[in-house]
């Protein structure tokens, strides 16, 4: 569903339903042979992925990567074919969150093979750095080139969902992704309850509007605190910033996730929270959020 409540579930499926032969259409004015071939290659990869979701946040540290990992893991646990692409070129955290810091992509017949994590297909700039502490110092065009390669040179194969984790803000990476991928199903915006975070979430929503990307909804993360001893939920900061942002911006509110020490523990131990701690109220909150995305099974 998009923010107007319209069914968008087929928006990212090409007209022939995900046929690998589909093309990029006509050559654009001033497009060179090389550029056209590159665009066609990317388009034929993306045509094989039914739904593409991007996870955005206005600020860093609000739990965007955590939400991206858990959406992808939950969809995989539901039996879907899922890819997770990390385009946070300066601070990739997906390899750590999935315990894959030493993984290196191998060449496949038709590009680079994504790294498999319990059936989840994962790709991140973090897999390509010689040392995980290396800094990536790139300007816009180089970033766009890297993201284009992640989309077109990684052998994603046929997927039901591709979940894309992004850096905070509305910069080159988000813009490149939105321009390169036609038919993005929509964006999940992650924020924390505080007003200062909500202001940045509104910018992410306006970014989506400017680029005609449907906003699937807002997630308020770190909303209240779950006591590790008694399991009781108490207010930590003020609450309701995400809900209020959704109402003001007229986009769906997907739900709240509390601060839960087990979430941080799962991230640090390289296992998705939703698979490690499936029978907990926090996992139930995440599941309720994911169900609201209008997930298509099969
Ligand atoms: P971002 O992608 O927005 O920068 P991360 O997903 O990397 O944020 O999360 C930042 C840190 O906060 C990580 O250490 C993560 O484990 C922790 N974290 C995120 N959400 C929660 C939560 N609901 N409860 C406890 N810790 C959380």
What pLDDT does residue 226 have?
A: 81
Report the 10 Å Cβ neighbour count for 185: 27
What pLDDT does residue 147 have?
A: 93
What is the C-alpha to C-alpha distance for residues 147 and 124, in angstroms, rounded to an integer? 10
Domain-located, residue 25 = no
What pLDDT does residue 122 have?
A: 98
Report the 10 Å Cβ neighbour count for 232: 9
Give Cβ neighbours of residue 242 (< 8 Å, ≥ 6 apart).
191, 192, 193, 198, 201, 218, 219, 220, 223, 253, 256
Can you give the C-alpha Rg of the chain in angstroms? 18
Confidence of residue 298 (pLDDT cuts 50, 70, 90): low
Task: Kindly report, residue by residue over 240-260, the tens digit of the pLDDT.
Answer: 789 999 999 999 999 999 999
Domain-located, residue 8 = no
Domain-located, residue 5 = no
Which residue's CA lies nearest to atom 16 of ligand 1?
Answer: 264
Domain-located, residue 24 = no
N-term to C-term CA, the chain: 17
Domain-located, residue 178 = yes
Mean pLDDT of 14-36: 69
Task: Kindly report, residue by residue over 35-68, the tens digit of the pLDDT.
Answer: 888 889 999 999 999 999 999 999 999 999 999 9
What CATH number has the domain bearing residue 46? Answer: 3.40.50.300
Round the average pLDDT of the chain to a whole number and report it: 88
Mean pLDDT of 211-235: 89
93 CB less than 6 Å from ligand 1?
yes
Domain-located, residue 287 = yes
Task: Kindly report, residue by residue over 203-218, the tens digit of the pLDDT.
Answer: 999 999 999 999 999 9
Q: Give the domain range for residue 220.
A: 33-291
Task: Kindly report, residue by residue over 277-289, the tens digit of the pLDDT.
Answer: 999 999 999 999 9
Domain-located, residue 3 = no
43 CB less than 6 Å from ligand 1?
no
How many distinct structural domains can be found in the chain?
A: 1
Confidence of residue 21 (pLDDT cuts 50, 70, 90): low
Task: Kindly report, residue by residue over 57-97, the tens digit of the pLDDT.
Answer: 999 999 999 999 999 999 999 999 999 999 998 889 999 99
Which atom belonging to ligand 1 lies closest to the Cα atom of 69? 6
Domain-located, residue 18 = no
57 CB less than 6 Å from ligand 1?
yes
What is the value of pTM for the model shown? 0.91
């Amino acid at each position: 569903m998009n923010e107007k409540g319209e069914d968008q579930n087929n928006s990212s499926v090409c007209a022939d339903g995900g046929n690998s032969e589909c093309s990029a259409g006509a050559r654009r004015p001033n497009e060179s042979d090389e550029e056209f071939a590159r665009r066609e290659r990317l388009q034929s990869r993306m045509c094989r992925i039914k739904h593409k979701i991007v996870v955005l946040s206005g600020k860093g540290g609000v739990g965007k990567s955590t939400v991206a990992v858990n959406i992808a893991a939950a969809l995989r646990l539901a039996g879907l074919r899922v890819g997770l692409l990390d385009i946070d070129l300066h601070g990739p955290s997906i390899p750590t969150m999935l315990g894959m810091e030493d993984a290196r992509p191998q060449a496949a017949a038709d590009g680079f093979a994504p790294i498999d994590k319990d059936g989840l297909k994962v790709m991140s700039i973090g897999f390509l750095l010689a040392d995980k502490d290396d800094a990536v110092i790139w300007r816009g065009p180089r970033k766009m080139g890297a993201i284009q390669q992640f989309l077109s040179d990684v052998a994603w194969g046929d997927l039901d969902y591709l979940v894309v984790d992004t850096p905070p803000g509305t910069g080159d990476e988000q813009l490149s992704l939105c321009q390169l991928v036609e038919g993005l199903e929509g964006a999940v915006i992650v924020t924390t309850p505080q007003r200062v975070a909500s202001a940045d979430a509104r910018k992410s929503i306006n970014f989506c509007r400017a680029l005609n990307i449907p906003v699937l909804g807002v997630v308020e993360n770190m909303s209240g605190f779950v006591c590790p001893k008694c399991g009781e939920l108490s207010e930590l900061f003020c609450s309701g910033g995400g809900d209020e942002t959704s109402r003001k911006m007229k986009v769906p509110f997907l739900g709240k996730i509390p601060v839960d020490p087990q979430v941080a523990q799962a991230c640090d131990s390289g296992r998705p929270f939703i698979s490690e701690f499936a029978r907990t109220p926090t996992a139930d909150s995440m599941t309720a959020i994911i169900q609201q995305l209008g997930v298509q099974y099969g």
